[in-house]
């Protein structure tokens, strides 16, 4: 049954991809062609094929693609140039004599009147109407992703008859840019490869358009990332509550985060030289193996000596009881327990930092460093990861509530082993410099980016970069607080202290926050596609155009179409209309201004969504659950746009250092905030921590608005100075 359902959905998707108009056009063309060619297939006299030459037969077929009234022969190319024969319909000279004799003076051919009488020549107007239907059906099936619908004003210039019968025209620029609709050559023959320049790349091109040979490696890379994300999400749901059981509160987890953050900074900084020395793939897979071993060992350690003693009794393996006896003194000493767990977390953060450095560089190594291609990859990766982020915490909460911590913790090593196999055997990483972008810039190794200025001079003397840096940190603060403390603490508060039930309640907070992030990623992706499309030839009004943009590639029943219309009508359409040049496009400077307006808008919306946090004070959780969806969407879009704004202010050879500085300082600030919030929930009982936290969030909302105003002021100054 599941296979039948999958087959049915696949057929529906295929049908919706090309659209019902395509099938209707084919059906109409089929009926008309059957009536048109009836004489030549048995209901009339047979065509005397022996009476014509092969070149005339070819030209008869070519007549379908040329206006039947076109009789001008191509210009001669010298006295000795061969004359290109014309179709049969034009095979008479001006005196009415049979011009077909000129094809071969030594051979006799029947006159045109004989051919017409035989029924072998079909009415040219009938052929033309059939051809129009066939070509229309073909265009519906083979529409390029960068083509806008040819309706309205841009069709009214060329005298081509549209589906409704009115006289319409396709712009010459669009014809030249679209090989599938280019005018026929002078000879009527199909242009050979290389006769026309390649079509310009579009905002809708695949992420594999530049390097199709890397498709398999990228797919395995994505599959491994998403498989590992399952374990990360379930482990993230289990660890805060398990640590609370072992240490009696959230303060220990916050203090451990300080040490692990420092270790993660060193790991990120060391990842570049290591990757240059042993290779990106080796660095990534080796660090992933070390992460797997460290987390698995920590899980076994946290389960305690009782688990090893029980396993020894069940299996008869005495070494398990020996391990349990060795762990018993550590578990009995809170100080030793804290040091051991802090050591595990710090080592995992160190190798995780190395892994993230390699992971961030792998997409550029696999796909090249063209920005549009990488942005599509990152959008796809984030969208898929958020899908897992929605279901992962809930799956972890259900496992903990139903079976305890052990089954939930076992998921992590199992899925990481599967991900490792995908990375090792499925992913093939080219050597540095093998992949080039359209600007022919080779992909550099990480250590080749040598900054020429000190990091403080680089960041703090540029007002736009400085403000974007502070805003990025401010907008990222609540994310780790929500996952590591607020979600679990809310579950403890609503469940009355039952850790297993708290896991199920608290994971709704993080799952719905991830759901909002999923919507935010989709929203941001469509916005970027619409802005990219505005740089192409789109002369129609933006709202009408976007409602039909790429309808041959519908997504989830027309969701993209509806989302595009909403984005344009809500805010983007006004900005695009005011920025368009007479040819309908926008300049790069206008694109930057639109992106800045969008960043400021989403910063304000992120500040506005903070009003949902007082719902944590209510005696029922449902209002708090719903408040997480808009908060997640606005928060994800805001901090991603702020990071993009910061990186756009940096020279290419300085991006690595600025990114490392932003990541290191963000980790330090987050560690301090987690430590403070953890103490808040350990010191104050009941609802009081949520009340104090809401006061801090109100102050944070004010900071968001001030940073929004600062970015607007500095970007306006930078634009006016340029």
DSSP 38-57: SGGGTTSPPP-GGGS-HHHH
**CB-based burial of residue 93 (10 Å sphere; 0-12 exposed, 13-18 middle, 19+ buried)?**
exposed
Q: How far apart are CA 590 and CA 570, in angstroms?
A: 19
Are the C-beta atoms of 160 and 170 separated by less than 8 Å? yes
516 phi, psi to nearest 5 deg: -60, -40
d(CA 254, CA 679): 8
Q: Which residue has the tokens 């909460």?
A: 397
Distances (CA, A) of 204 to 95, 192, 578: 55, 26, 23
Q: Decide: 247 and 678 in contact? Cβ < 8 Å.
A: no
What is the pLDDT at residue 585? 78
Distance, in Å, from the CA atom of 381 to the CA atom of 397, rounded to the nearest integer, reads 24
Instruction: Give the H/E segment covering residue 454.
Output: none
Go through the chain and tell me how many residues it has. Answer: 722
Write out the two tokens for 358. Answer: 């390699």
Give φ, ψ of 220 to 5 degrees: -65, -35
Burial of residue 171 (CB within 10 Å: 0-12, 13-18, 19+) is middle
Q: In degrees rounded to 5, what are phi and psi of residue 224? A: -65, -45
CB 548 within 8 A of CB 149: yes
For 150-214, the DSSP string reads --GGGGBTS-EE-TTS-EEB--HHHHHH-GGGPPPPTT-PPPPTTSSPPPPP-TT--TTSS-GGG
Rounded Cα distance, 546 and 577, in Å: 13
Backbone angles phi, psi at 92, to 5 degrees: -125, 150
Alpha-helical (H) ranges within 63-212 are 112-117, 124-141, 172-177
DSSP H stretches of helix in 368-404: 371-403
pLDDT in tens, 144-165: 433 334 333 443 443 434 444 4
Enter the tokens of residue 137. 């059906």
Ranges in the chain, pLDDT < 70:
1-213, 248-251, 254, 364, 368-376, 378-379, 431-453, 499-500, 535-558, 652-657, 660, 719-722
> What is the pLDDT, as a whole number, of residue 2?
41
Q: What are phi and psi of 258, to 5 degrees?
A: -65, -50
Pair of tokens at residue 27: 């059906």
Instruction: Find where tokens 């911590």 sit.
Output: 405
pLDDT of residue 590: 83
3-state SS, 455-514, equals HHHHHHCCHHHHHHHHHHHHHHCHHHHHHHHHHHHHHHHHHCCCHHHHHHHHHHHHHHHH
CATH of domain 211-448: 1.20.1250
Measured between alpha carbons, how far is 317 from 351 in angstroms, rounded to an integer? 32
Question: How far is the CA of 553 from the CAs of 100, 147, 384, in angstroms?
Answer: 48, 12, 19
Q: Are 417 and 292 in contact (CB under 8 A)?
A: yes
- pTM of the complete model beyond 0.75: no
pLDDT tens digits, 422-439 = 888 888 877 654 444 434
For residue 49, give both structure tokens: 């094929």
**Boundaries of every domain in the chain:** 19-149, 211-448, 453-525+629-722
Tokens encoding 563? 């989302």
Contact (CB, 8 A) for 294 and 351 = yes
The predicted structure's pLDDT at residue 603: 94
The end-to-end CA distance of the chain, in Å, is 63
The stretches of 48-181 forming alpha helices (DSSP H) are 54-62, 112-117, 124-141, 172-177
Q: Which long-range contacts (CB under 8 A, 24 or more apart) does 591-594 make?
A: 591/531, 591/534, 591/535, 592/648, 592/719, 593/719, 594/531
User: What's the pLDDT at 250?
Assistant: 63
What pLDDT, on a 0 to 100 scale, did the predictor assign at position 634? 93
User: 477 near 642, Cβ under 8 Å?
Assistant: no
């Amino acid at each position: 049954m599941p296979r039948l359902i999958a087959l049915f959905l696949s057929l529906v998707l295929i049908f919706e991809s090309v659209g019902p108009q395509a099938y209707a056009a084919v059906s109409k063309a089929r009926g008309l062609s059957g009536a048109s060619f009836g004489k030549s297939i048995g209901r009339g006299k047979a065509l005397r094929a022996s009476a014509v030459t092969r070149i005339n037969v070819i030209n008869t077929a070519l007549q379908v693609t040329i206006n039947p009234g076109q009789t001008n022969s191509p210009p001669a190319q010298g006295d000795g140039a061969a004359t290109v024969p014309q179709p049969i319909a034009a095979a008479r000279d001006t005196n009415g004599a049979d011009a077909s004799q000129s094809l071969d003076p030594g051979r006799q051919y029947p006159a045109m009147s004989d051919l017409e009488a035989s029924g072998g020549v079909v009415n040219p107007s009938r052929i033309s109407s059939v051809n129009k239907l066939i070509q229309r059906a073909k265009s519906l099936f083979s529409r390029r992703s960068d083509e806008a619908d040819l309706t309205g004003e841009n069709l009214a210039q060329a005298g081509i008859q549209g589906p409704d019968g009115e006289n319409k025209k396709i712009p010459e620029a669009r014809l030249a840019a679209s090989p599938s609709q280019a005018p026929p050559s002078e000879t009527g023959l199909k242009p050979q490869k290389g006769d026309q320049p390649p079509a310009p790349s579009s905002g809708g091109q695949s992420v594999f358009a530049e390097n199709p040979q890397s498709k398999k490696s990228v797919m395995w890379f994505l599959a491994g990332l998403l498989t590992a994300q399952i374990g990360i999400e379930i482990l993230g749901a289990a660890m805060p509550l398990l640590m609370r059981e072992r240490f009696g509160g959230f303060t220990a987890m916050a203090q451990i985060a300080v040490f692990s953050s420092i270790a993660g900074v060193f790991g990120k900084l060391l990842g570049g030289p290591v990757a240059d020395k042993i290779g990106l793939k080796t660095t990534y897979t080796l660090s992933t193996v070390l992460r797997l071993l460290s987390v698995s060992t920590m899980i076994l350690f946290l389960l305690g000596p009782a688990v090893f003693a029980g396993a020894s009794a069940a299996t008869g393996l005495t070494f398990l009881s020996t391990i349990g006896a060795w762990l018993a003194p550590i578990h009995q000493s809170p100080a030793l327990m804290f040091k051991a767990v802090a050591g595990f977390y710090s080592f995992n953060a160190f190798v995780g930092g190395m892994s993230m450095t390699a992971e961030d560089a792998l997409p550029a190594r696999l796909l090249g460093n063209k920005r549009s291609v990488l942005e599509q990859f990152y959008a796809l990766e984030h969208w898929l990861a958020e899908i897992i982020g929605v279901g992962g915490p809930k799956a972890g909460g259900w496992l903990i509530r139903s079976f305890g911590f052990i089954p939930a913790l076992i998921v992590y090593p199992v899925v990481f082993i599967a991900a490792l196999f995908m990375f090792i055997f499925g992913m093939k990483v080219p050597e540095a410099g093998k992949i080039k972008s359209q600007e022919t810039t080779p992909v550099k190794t990480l250590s080749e980016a040598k900054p020429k200025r000190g990091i403080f001079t680089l960041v703090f003397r540029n007002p736009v970069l400085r403000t974007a840096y502070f805003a990025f940190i401010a907008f990222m603060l609540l994310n780790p607080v929500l996952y590591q403390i607020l979600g679990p603490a809310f579950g403890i508060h609503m469940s009355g202290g039952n850790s297993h039930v708290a896991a199920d309640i608290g994971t709704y907070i993080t799952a719905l926050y991830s759901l909002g992030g999923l919507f935010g990623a989709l929203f941001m992706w469509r916005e970027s596609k619409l802005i990219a499309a505005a740089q192409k030839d789109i002369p129609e009004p933006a709202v009408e155009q976007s409602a039909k943009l790429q309808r041959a590639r519908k997504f989830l029943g027309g969701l993209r179409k509806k989302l595009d219309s909403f984005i344009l009508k809500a805010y983007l359409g006004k900005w695009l209309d005011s920025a368009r040049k007479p040819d309908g496009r926008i300049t790069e400077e206008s694109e930057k201004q639109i992106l800045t307006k969008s960043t400021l808008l989403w910063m304000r919306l992120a500040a506005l969504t903070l009003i949902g946090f007082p719902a944590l004070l209510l005696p029922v959780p449902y209002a708090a659950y719903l408040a997480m969806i808009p908060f997640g969407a606005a928060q994800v879009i805001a901090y991603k746009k702020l990071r993009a704004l910061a990186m756009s202010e940096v020279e290419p050879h300085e991006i690595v250092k600025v990114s490392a500085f932003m990541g290191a300082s963000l980790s330090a600030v987050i560690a301090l905030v987690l430590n403070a919030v953890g103490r808040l929930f350990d010191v104050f009982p009941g609802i009081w921590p949520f009340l104090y936290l809401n006061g801090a969030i109100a102050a944070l909302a004010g900071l968001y608005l001030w940073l929004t105003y600062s970015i607007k002021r500095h970007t306006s100054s930078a634009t006016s100075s340029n």
